[in-house]
Structure 1
Amino acid sequence: MKKRYLPIAMFAIAALGLTACSGGGTDSPTDDTLDVWIMQGTNPDTEAFFDTVGDAFTEKTGATLNVEFVQWADAHDRFVTAIAGGTTPDIAETGTTWTAEFADSGALAPIDDYVAEAGLEDDLVQGLVDSGTYDGSLFGMPWYAGVRSIIYRTDVFAELGLAAPTTWQEIVDAATVIHAERPDLIPFPVPGDAEMLTYPWVWGAGGEVSTLEGDQWVSGLDADEAREGIRFYTGLATEHGFSSAGATTWKETDLLDNFSQGTVAMAISGSWTPATVLEKAPELEGKIGAIAIPGQNGGISPSVLGGSHLSMFEGSENKDLAWDFMELMTTGDFAQQWADQTGYFAGTESLLQPTIESDDPLVQPFAEQMVDGGASLPVTPTFGAVQAKKTTNAMIQSILSGQKTVDEATTDAAAEMNDIMNGN
């Protein structure tokens, strides 16, 4: 079998040399080659993993799998260049915030009929379906995802006789005790440069980030519900003193570092991070747990579900073969192996169910959050420009620093978001 793994330096040359393949017969021998782009770095054993996948793909279809690995930092520009030049592969991994953008450009092929024929419609994780759907069609096959919940020091909670919070008020109650009894700890940091940590409080209070009304996007950040959530979140720092002044400029990586150093009691964290915490601080083994982000008065506050789709390009002349690969990767053993090796979750509920039923305190709450409280940001190419402008981060930092009130900051952020998303 022939498999090629091209170094990034050869990426542009390889893209220009891609050849169109003729019709792909599912589960039948063929001389076709399927060209695939996969992001590098998510799985430390990516090349070995795709060696095995390539063998299975050839056994299933008789075709050759040609995988090119692309650095995340370079990927978006390379996609844009390839789309403009008509040199896209058959299949590529697309980040959930990119799928709508590439679909809007006409570069992606809808896969609704393939999903329906395979009987997978009811098994796909809804949050990943939402972010992969554009203009009524599915362009991103859910592959893997992570979600943010709360990690906390179980040893500290046990020492102080505290129960894990199930409401927003209980977060305040627990943090109040920690603040008084353990002054060496930051009860609940509020990082100012961590956009994704803001949205659960907006949604949890019943607010919206932005919604499409007619042909205009309307930000909900300045609505009463969103303001209530943002006021609670920033108030953990400004009103209660549960954060620290330094956290105003923290990114999520800074939050993770401080938790690993043993200076934080509770923090919002990605499902992929507990293993990193324990790797950095093995002394915390058995001393940390996780909970889904509580709803305001109980239940679960939605949290951003981020990860990757597999997307089929419209220029592929081998769409049936491309679907064979997509189905192989996103269902069954290979989907589970990828999840196990990366620390992310598979994109199907059937594979998630055993995890949800697990008693692992660092896994089960994240899986519950993903299935019952996984949410997507506005599915539009223009939301990426909002993120590039750091509209939400600037809003939070202005509140934390005392430069603006919540009402002032949300009014300004909503106006800027509307201008960007509506092309003004």
Structure 2
Amino acid sequence: MKLRLLAGVSALVAVAGLSACSSSGSDDGDPGSGGKTAIDVWLMRDSVSDAFQKEFEKGFEAAHPDIDVRVQVQEWDGIGEKVTAALASNDAPDVIETGNTQVAQLAQSGGLLDLSDKVDELGGKDWLKGLAEPGAWDGKQYGIPYYAANRVVIYRKDLFAKAGVDASAIKTREQWIAATRKLNKGAEQGIYLPGQNWYTLAGFVWDEGGDLATKSGDTWKGTLDTPEALRGMEFYQRLQALGKGPKDSDEAQPPQAEVMAKGQVAQVVSTPGGANVVLQNNPALKGKLGFFPIPGKTAATPGAVFIGGSDLVVPTVSQHHDAAYTFIKELTGDAWQKKLAVAMSYVPNKTTLASAVSGDPGAAAMAVGAPVGHATPNTPGWAAVEAKNPIKDYMTAVLAGGDPAREAKKASEAITSAMNSGS
């Protein structure tokens, strides 16, 4: 997913008429590449830097002199339609980076190669579940986890010190509430949390053992009205009330990083990249921003988070399955994952690699929560939910004084209708 905003994925047009292929496809040399097998790779804007791309291509081709890699950087805007068209053509790239929650729609169409037989070889037992699970569809693995990002708490070190609050001591949600109340005595806002930050709500719901929707047989059902999900909303309500965030908009309206930059806001919930936006708007805060993982219900487990990020997939129509897999194996392997994480401040695709970002405060905070991260319900029908997003309306209604149980039931019914009509 697009990491800077971790935005929801737009609905993709279904691709029909594509037949599945075996992952043992043959690779013929490309005469235009001196007898090498030339593979085309689509990577998304900002997934790698120019320097990392050059380093990887040089290292990869030195290790695999029979493969010529041709990387094309794609823009996020309009990528859904572009990938759909590519999969339906006979001229698709050999490897595509796609948002982790997009894989189900692409796989359902028959447009992606089944890579289930490669999971063990790729160290799949250590993959982040929030990347691996949405990369699977109907019991088969189509998307190979590439990198991840998730929300953390960005805080003002100066305001915490002034209030006598030690961020490193905040390990539970109740400690977070207590600290935020204390911060309110000296800051304009102890926390800025807009009313429709539904990804943050989802984390609290997962903490309580609930979910946004569950599947029974072939039918999905919205579950915001369960006792577990209602407890998650109750905590969100308590935390949101400790700031002055609007009840009827999300973190982009107004941009919460700009709000933090302008005033005495002690905390926001964001991906670490939000700190860069704060500094762009207020350079005087350089050195004053810190990060800590979203706290959990108990100190033993960090708070659940929504995992955004990307998987790598191979189109069935690719003529170079073996070379494409070799590329994926290298880029998602331990050596290059460590380098990518350091270069781009991402969370590596495996829980065993978290130490690679120990020197990056923002990425290190993300890495703490990533192992308990989740993705949205793994079904093409979820795109229909995000198109209208009744979760946002539900949150605003509750924060404005509506009965939580009644509003949750309405939202759950809307989710059920959207998921099953959009499947």
TM-score after normalising by structure 2: 0.84
Match of 1:407 in 2: 405
CA distance in 2, matches of 1:308, 1:359: 23
Equivalent position amino acid for 2:285 in 1: L
Tell me by how many angstroms 1:30 deviates: 4.9
Equivalent position amino acid for 2:382 in 1: F
CA distance in 2, matches of 1:288, 1:58: 40
Equivalent position amino acid for 1:363 in 2: A
CA distance in 2, matches of 1:414, 1:87: 42
CA distance in 2, matches of 1:155, 1:396: 32
1:70 to 69, 74, 77: 74
> Deviation string for 1:28-85 (max 9, x for gaps)?
x953211211112444x34x54344333333314222222222101100111222334
Equivalent position amino acid for 2:242 in 1: F
Match of 1:248 in 2: 248
2:217 pairs with 1:211: no
CA distance in 2, matches of 1:352, 1:273: 21
Match of 1:53 in 2: 56
**5+ long unaligned stretches in structure 1:** 1-21
Tell me by how many angstroms 1:246 deviates: 3.4
CA distance in 2, matches of 1:209, 1:304: 12
CA distance in 2, matches of 1:349, 1:385: 31
Tell me by how many angstroms 1:267 deviates: 1.8
Q: Secondary structure at the match of 1:122?
A: helix
2:108 to 67, 82, 104: 104
1:95 to 90, 93, 99: 99
CA distance in 2, matches of 1:370, 1:147: 7
Match of 2:171 in 1: 166
CA distance in 2, matches of 1:52, 1:343: 17
Tell me by how many angstroms 1:228 deviates: 1.1
> Deviation string for 1:198-253 (max 9, x for gaps)?
2111111221111111111122211011011112202333xxx4222536324247
Match of 2:373 in 1: 374
CA distance in 1, matches of 2:118, 2:182: 54
> Deviation string for 1:330-375 (max 9, x for gaps)?
22443333333332222123432333xx36543322211112x221
CA contact (8 A) 2:88 2:111 kept: no
2:197 pairs with 1:187: no
Identical aligned pairs, as a percentage?
27
Match of 1:257 in 2: 258
Match of 1:329 in 2: 331
Tell me by how many angstroms 1:102 deviates: 0.4
Tell me by how many angstroms 1:119 deviates: 4.9
CA contact (8 A) 2:345 2:360 kept: no
CA contact (8 A) 1:147 1:270 kept: yes
Equivalent position amino acid for 1:411 in 2: K
Equivalent position amino acid for 2:118 in 1: Y
CA contact (8 A) 1:190 1:234 kept: no
Tell me by how many angstroms 1:400 deviates: 2.8
Match of 1:383 in 2: 382
Between 1:146-155 and 1:393-402, the stretch displaced more is 393-402
Q: Secondary structure at the match of 2:379?
A: coil
TM-score after normalising by structure 1: 0.84
CA contact (8 A) 1:271 1:344 kept: no
CA contact (8 A) 1:190 1:243 kept: yes
Tell me by how many angstroms 1:378 deviates: 0.8
Tell me by how many angstroms 1:107 deviates: 0.7
Written as runs of structure 1 = structure 2, the 5 A alignment for 1:183-332 is 184-237=187-240, 241-244=241-244, 246=246, 248-252=248-252, 254-298=255-299, 299-332=301-334
Q: Secondary structure at the match of 2:77?
A: helix
Q: Secondary structure at the match of 1:334?
A: helix
CA distance in 1, matches of 2:305, 2:376: 10
Match of 1:143 in 2: 146
CA distance in 1, matches of 2:232, 2:282: 32
2:87 to 80, 83, 89: 83
Equivalent position amino acid for 1:98 in 2: Q
2:124 pairs with 1:121: yes
Tell me by how many angstroms 1:287 deviates: 2.8
Equivalent position amino acid for 2:369 in 1: Q
CA distance in 2, matches of 1:235, 1:73: 36
2:32 pairs with 1:31: no
Match of 1:40 in 2: 45
Tell me by how many angstroms 1:262 deviates: 4.1
Q: Secondary structure at the match of 2:83?
A: helix
CA contact (8 A) 2:195 2:247 kept: yes
1:344 to 343, 346, 358: 346
CA distance in 2, matches of 1:275, 1:168: 26
Equivalent position amino acid for 2:408 in 1: T
CA distance in 2, matches of 1:307, 1:348: 13
> Deviation string for 1:80-99 (max 9, x for gaps)?
22233444221100101101
Cα RMSD of the aligned pairs, angstroms, is 2.6
Cα distance change of structure 1 residues 318 and 207 upon mapping to structure 2, 3 Å threshold = same
Equivalent position amino acid for 1:383 in 2: W
CA distance in 1, matches of 2:68, 2:366: 37
CA distance in 2, matches of 1:381, 1:99: 9
CA distance in 2, matches of 1:120, 1:159: 46
Equivalent position amino acid for 1:345 in 2: V
> Deviation string for 1:309-331 (max 9, x for gaps)?
11111112211100111112122
